[in-house]
Amino acid sequence: MILITGGLGFIGTHTTRALLDLGESCLLLQRRAPRDPFPGEGVVVEQADLADEAALLALGDKHDITGILHLAGSFPWPPGADEPVVGARKALTGLLNVFAAAAAWGVTRLGLASTIGIYGGAAGPSPFTEDTPLPLTAPHPIPGFKKISEVLADHLAGAAGLPVVNYRIGAIWGPLGHSPSPFFAAPQLVHAAARGTAVQVHPARAANPPRAGEAIDLCYVKDCGRALALLQTAGTLRHRTYNVASGRPTTNGEVAAVLGELVPDARLDLPEGRGPGVRDTWLDITRLREDTGYEPAYDTERAAAEYLAWLREGHDR
């Protein structure tokens, strides 16, 4: 059984489905009151706070946990919810408790979710490989704490012999995703097309709104979930770190054009070009392909059409 922290979240839900399709059973851990979107499908849902080490370790007495996929956020969030030192302590305590559980249960693999944002400030053009040297600083708490997580993982893999693998996840869009996003424009473009409204700009981008020429490694959430499931269940992985993405850049203009074909009266006008300081980022997924056989199943057209249809069914995320 694979324990998935954040297993009822955006990426977690789709990853659970992909693991079930591979014949795995899953234990989904949720801090808030649990629900079960997979009744009768080899899924158990438990409620526990990662900051409570005893409650987390007690799950090993109830379930035969052979692997952990840590998708819950190990960073202070939302910003300002706690005093900075308190927020950092909570984030790191939860992460360290996951490491402790992996050691106590002797899992075969501990997968840690990282982010494409970890490449922010890295030298050189895209596509970025997993060996790209990274600066120590980060402009946002999420990539900052993901860097801390990866350094801790490297240390504990050697010092404690933990089978840790880092998954650097691209810009993920699709059903259950949040809009607007402060990091990329695709979700709000789809929501605008579905609702017949203008594109909503996240407050963090108000001074520098998304432009048509800006590109990022956009990966549909079902592809992301399948890639994570393949990595988590692979018999042998040759590397400590893997990029999980589509392996190509997608511009905002490309997404808007596809949506314009699907919804001719959509209000998706975007300024041309790229904003000041905006850098196109996409990832090399050679390792992922070679070690799992993964190939993205969704191009922009298929992803946008499915996401749009899901929203038009009445879903609000």
pLDDT in tens, 84-94: 898 889 889 99
Residue 290 within a domain = no
Q: How far is 228 from 15, CA to CA, in rounded Å? A: 7
The mean pLDDT of 45-49, rounded to a whole number, is 91
Residue 288 within a domain = no
Are both 209 and 119 inside the same structural domain? no
Name the band, by pLDDT with cuts 50, 70 and 90, for residue 79: low
Name the band, by pLDDT with cuts 50, 70 and 90, for residue 56: very high
Reading the block at residue 265, the tokens are 């009266």
pTM: 0.95
Range of the domain at 251: 172-217+247-282+298-312
The mean pLDDT of 156-164, rounded to a whole number, is 95
Helix (H), strand (E), coil (C) string for 225-276 = HHHHHHHHHCCCCCCCEEEECCCCCEEHHHHHHHHHHHCCCCCCCCCCCCCC
Question: Would you say residue 31 has pLDDT above 90?
Answer: no
More confident residue, 73 or 72: 72
Residue 187 within a domain = yes
The total number of structural domains that make up the chain: 2
More confident residue, 279 or 70: 70
Q: Which residues pair with 216 in a beta bridge?
A: 250, 281
pLDDT at 33: 64
Tell me, what CATH number does 132's domain have? 3.40.50.720
Are both 142 and 208 inside the same structural domain? no
pLDDT in tens, 298-317: 999 999 999 999 999 988 76
Are both 190 and 200 inside the same structural domain? yes
Examine residue 133 and say whether the peptide bond preceding it is cis (omega within 30 degrees of 0).
no
Are both 152 and 261 inside the same structural domain? no
Residue 278 within a domain = yes
pLDDT at 305: 98
More confident residue, 169 or 74: 169
